[in-house]
């Protein structure tokens, strides 16, 4: 019975997202001429609505642990990546931001079109030298305009319990730009699985660490420190799903 309820709720959620996405994609194209921050506020309202629908229909809630979102900034957020949920919810948790994404995502119908209007840093998988150059040039540009930069150093969504070595691009950008990093751990993948249709009720724990200074640091050393902090928090968090 519990599985049937989850299936029905997940189907209602999928239908709701299907209905609201095409109009938002059209809206995203219409607001392209507006200033970047105004455009950001309008387009990301889709993400906030999807997170609200996930909470109302599927019962996916979240709580924040740790110091919370730091004041000041901009910062570079280095986060665990398990789900599509965090790419949406971070827009409610943190100030205006840009994502570092795979270039191919921008070609996904509707979703990718809206994402493209938010000036993400789009990199090509496998082209390391070109990607680092693009990360530096566009990352420096976005940070200078006051936008935070969100990077998932695992490079792809990973299953709960799976461990993938962090790529060093995020720490490299932080050290080169002398911008502090904010580490984030969470267990969203337990409720909104990678490539999964079913969405499970429960409470996602989002652990936000205190900013870690990067000035004068070695990128490899900073990367190891952030990875160790996130790994330790992932061990501590526990489970997200509601007991049935």
Over residues 124-139, the pLDDT tens digits come to: 776 677 888 889 999 9
Residues ≥6 apart with Cβ < 8 Å to 46: 20, 21, 24, 28, 114
Tokens encoding 174? 């932080």
- Residue 191 has what pLDDT? 97
Residues ≥6 apart with Cβ < 8 Å to 119: 36, 98, 142, 147
Asked if residue 244 is part of any domain, the answer here is no
Q: Is the pLDDT of residue 144 over 90?
A: yes
Domain span at 34: 2-237
Residues 69-91 pLDDT 10s: 999 889 999 999 999 999 999 99
How far apart CA 107 and CA 118 sit, in angstroms, is 14
Secondary element (H or E) of residue 107: none
Share of the chain above pLDDT 70, in %: 98
Are the C-beta atoms of residues 66 and 183 closer than 8 Å to each other? no
How far apart CA 45 and CA 18 sit, in angstroms, is 15
Number of independent structural domains in the chain:
1
Q: What is the mean pLDDT of residues 205-215?
A: 96
Where is mean pLDDT largest: 25-29, 128-132, 181-185? Answer: 181-185
- Residue scoring higher pLDDT (101 or 222): 222
- Neighbouring CB atoms inside 10 A of 190's CB total 21
CB-side neighbour CA atoms (13 Å) of 212: 26
- Neighbouring CB atoms inside 10 A of 231's CB total 14
Beta bridge partners of 10: none
The residue among 240, 224, 230 whose CA lies nearest residue 66 is 230
How far apart CA 209 and CA 218 sit, in angstroms, is 20
Asked if residue 55 is part of any domain, the answer here is yes
Beta bridge partners of 107: none
Q: What is the mean pLDDT of residues 20-46?
A: 93
Q: What is the mean pLDDT of residues 189-218?
A: 95
Asked if residue 98 is part of any domain, the answer here is yes
* Angle between helices 169-177 and 128-144 in degrees, nearest 10: 50
To the nearest whole number, what is the mean pLDDT of the chain? 92
Are the C-beta atoms of residues 82 and 222 closer than 8 Å to each other? no
Asked if residue 90 is part of any domain, the answer here is yes
Q: CA gyration radius for the chain?
A: 18
Asked if residue 134 is part of any domain, the answer here is yes
Asked if residue 243 is part of any domain, the answer here is no
Q: What is the mean pLDDT of residues 209-233?
A: 96
How far apart CA 228 and CA 231 sit, in angstroms, is 5
Asked if residue 163 is part of any domain, the answer here is yes
How far apart CA 206 and CA 243 sit, in angstroms, is 19
- Residue scoring higher pLDDT (244 or 211): 211
Q: Is 102 exposed, middle or buried (0-12, 13-18, 19+ CB in 10 A)?
A: middle
Predicted confidence band of residue 244 (pLDDT cuts 50, 70, 90):
low
Asked if residue 242 is part of any domain, the answer here is no
Which of 113-127, 151-165, 191-205 has the lowest average pLDDT?
113-127
User: For the whole model, what pTM was predicted?
Assistant: 0.93
How far apart CA 96 and CA 114 sit, in angstroms, is 15
């Amino acid at each position: 019975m519990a599985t049937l309820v989850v299936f029905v709720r997940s189907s209602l959620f999928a239908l709701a997202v299907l209905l609201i996405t095409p109009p938002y994609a059209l809206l995203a194209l219409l607001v392209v001429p507006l200033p970047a921050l105004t455009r950001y506020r309008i387009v990301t309202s889709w993400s906030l609505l999807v997170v609200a629908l996930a909470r109302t229909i599927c019962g996916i809630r979240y709580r924040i642990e740790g110091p919370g979102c730091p004041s000041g900034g901009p910062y570079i957020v280095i986060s665990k990546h398990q789900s599509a949920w965090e790419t949406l919810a971070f827009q409610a948790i943190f100030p205006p931001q840009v994502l570092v994404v795979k270039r191919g995502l921008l070609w996904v119908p509707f979703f990718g079109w809206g994402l493209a209007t938010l000036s993400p840093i789009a990199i090509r998988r496998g082209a390391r030298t070109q990607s680092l150059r693009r990360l530096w040039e566009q990352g420096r540009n976005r940070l200078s305009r006051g936008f935070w930069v969100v990077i998932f150093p695992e490079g792809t969504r990973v299953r709960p319990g799976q461990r993938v070595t962090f790529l060093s691009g995020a720490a490299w950008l932080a050290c080169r730009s002398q911008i502090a990093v904010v580490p984030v751990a969470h267990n969203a993948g337990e409720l909104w699985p990678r490539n999964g249709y079913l969405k499970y009720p429960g409470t996602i724990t989002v652990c936000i660490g205190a900013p870690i200074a990067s000035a004068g640091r070695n990128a490899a050393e900073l990367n190891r420190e952030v990875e160790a902090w996130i790994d330790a928090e992932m061990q501590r968090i526990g489970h997200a799903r509601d007991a049935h």
